[in-house]
Chains A and B, each alone.
Chain A
């Protein structure tokens, strides 16, 4: 007997499938990326009014690179981000190790609470609080103030991936190391740290991105000569919109996108070395 073919089209949706969601998801992606695309496209606009397209040109990039203030702000940003990342990642690694491998102790929950506090307090509150603090104790290290502020809010961002990595790590490896006559320090250096490195790297990258992007806290804390790139861009926007802002912004965007993508691939390696 031949199989009875159904005359009706057999394309039938599974129960959980909802029509039109794919289109919505694509529209959503356009919503996310179109503004960025517009920004980049207009950075190549020849004219000096941002919104009127007059032709293709890379002049604005040339101008941005030639601009002494922009260069100085960019260097400040890099100095701040690098120092803040180094300090924050070190502090975060030590704290994560103490919390994950230090046994249980009174106030452990509160400790985690304090470390993640900068994530919960609204940025603007942190910003004015630091402004008041620095000006009241008369602390004035110039860029040092900015670095201290950045270290503070970068610590939880560095802490989270490191802690997650530590929690996912197999503690029996450390026990095996001690079983094979390694001291605590040797175990840490030869077993724990190499395994933890992807977490540390991820934490460092996240700190770096956060520090590079920060605007409001830097705006409040930084003195006149200690402007970072986002703060400089803000002052440019205030003065009037030119494609030069687009050019600088595009460079900053590209920088973040590269870092975030790198971060993504670093965190996708699980402690057992396999890719997720």
Chain B
């Protein structure tokens, strides 16, 4: 499935939805102390899709994952797996497997025994188990470690075994609970690629939980951004980054500038608005609600271009410069409540020319300035 895939699945695709969530609710506790962890969660996940649940800790993504695996029951709603309602089907009868956050490999079993565990429970034949275990270990490049105990493996190796163990029974859906969070940066990046390849090769639907936006954007076919128990937006990485549905998504996925403004004159595809600081800006009007006057404008730092004073949309003063290696991040005071955060790739301009206190022109193009739905 391509990255450009639309948020809502086409009608034909819906029939092949691997997972359908319909108004799923989860409440912990009762009465006054009740906490709603999931609120009216509804979306579909297509077969063979790499789907990511993205959100900060406590947003409900892990609860949702645990509900899919049935470690947690839901309070209301339905969950369908390939059309079959599985709300009351216990974990050990669901064709869904999990890669646990801390791997949860059985410490008293060898790597091969761990991978064979689910197959044995499913009463597969001995020869089939042996063949599958060999295949899976080869898939995750752990063939040489078959006889080792988990305690004798590094974190990355344990991760691979956990993946092989969960894939071995060939589940319809594989759940991955922040599987890369315990690995160091380099390993995390190579594992991203490898996970993506394995997903493509096995054709199993992956549901990946993470709080890391880079992971979500780089690996997923589609992403569901969650916060406070609600699904904030479901879409391709591109849609989520370029056209966030609301302020939370905009702020959580990547860096963002927010500018409060008032609409002065609606003009077709773009609108003119006046900021609190007095600047008059042109913005993309696609999210503007009818009759709405007060808006928040949203702008990615890398979409801002700098120019000479007087030759741009607004002028401002550089108040802070951070060198980031491949780019420079600056804070520019343009007379609004918050200074504007701007990133400029290295190489385009000689960075040594920029100094704190310099006055620069800031180009805010209408296509980069979007109106946010609050």
A contact set with B: CB distance below 8 Å: 1-6, 8, 10, 12, 14-15
Contact = CB atoms under 8 A, between A and B. Distances in A.
Interface stretch (B68-76, B180-188, B215-223, B273-281): B68-76
Interface in B37-53: 40, 42
A13 to B, nearest CB: 9
A3 B40 contact: yes
B313 to A, nearest CB: 44
Contact of A4 (B23, B88, B90): B23
B40 A6 contact: no
B235 to A, nearest CB: 21
Nearest to B22: A4
A1 to B, nearest CB: 6
A1 B21 CA distance: 13
Interface size class of B (residues with CB under 8 A): 10 to 19
B87 interface: yes
Interface string B318-331: 00000000000000
A15 B77 contact: no
Interface of B: 22-23, 25, 40, 42, 71, 73, 75-78, 87-88, 90-91
B76 A3 contact: yes
A1 B77 CA distance: 11
A4 B77 contact: yes
24 contacts: A1-B23, A1-B42, A2-B23, A3-B23, A3-B25, A3-B40, A3-B76, A3-B77, A4-B22, A4-B23, A4-B76, A4-B77, A4-B78, A5-B76, A6-B76, A6-B87, A8-B88, A10-B73, A10-B75, A12-B73, A14-B71, A15-B71, A15-B90, A15-B91
Candidate in A2, A3, A4 with the most chain B CB atoms within 10 angstroms: A3
A119 to B, nearest CB: 29
Nearest to B76: A3
Contacts of B25: 3
Nearest to A11: B73
B348 to A, nearest CB: 50
Contacts of B23: 1-4
A14 B72 CA distance: 7
Contacts of B76: 3-6
Contacts of B77: 3-4
A15 B22 CA distance: 24
Contacts of B42: 1
Nearest to B41: A3
Contacts of B40: 3
A10 B30 CA distance: 13
Given A4-B22, A10-B75, 18 more contacts: A1-B23, A1-B42, A2-B23, A3-B23, A3-B25, A3-B40, A3-B76, A3-B77, A4-B23, A4-B76, A4-B78, A5-B76, A6-B76, A6-B87, A8-B88, A10-B73, A15-B71, A15-B90
A159 B88 CA distance: 54
Contacts of A1: 23, 42
Contacts of B22: 4
Nearest to B92: A15
B36 to A, nearest CB: 11
Contacts of A15: 71, 90-91
A14 B91 CA distance: 10
Contacts of A8: 88
Nearest to A15: B91
Contacts of A12: 73
Nearest to A12: B73
Contacts of A2: 23
B100 to A, nearest CB: 14
Contacts of A3: 23, 25, 40, 76-77
A2 B76 CA distance: 10
Contacts of B73: 10, 12
A10 B40 CA distance: 17
A2 to B, nearest CB: 8
A36 B282 CA distance: 85
Contacts of B75: 10
Contacts of B87: 6
B137 to A, nearest CB: 28
A15 B87 CA distance: 15
A2 B23 CA distance: 8
Contacts of A10: 73, 75
A238 B23 CA distance: 74
A236 B201 CA distance: 82
A2 B73 CA distance: 19
A10 B87 CA distance: 11
A12 B90 CA distance: 10
A3 B22 CA distance: 8
A5 to B, nearest CB: 5
A10 B73 CA distance: 8
A14 B87 CA distance: 14
B73 to A, nearest CB: 5
A252 B77 CA distance: 61
Contacts of B71: 14-15
B78 to A, nearest CB: 6
A102 B214 CA distance: 52
Contacts of B91: 15
A14 B28 CA distance: 14
A34 to B, nearest CB: 35
Contacts of B88: 8
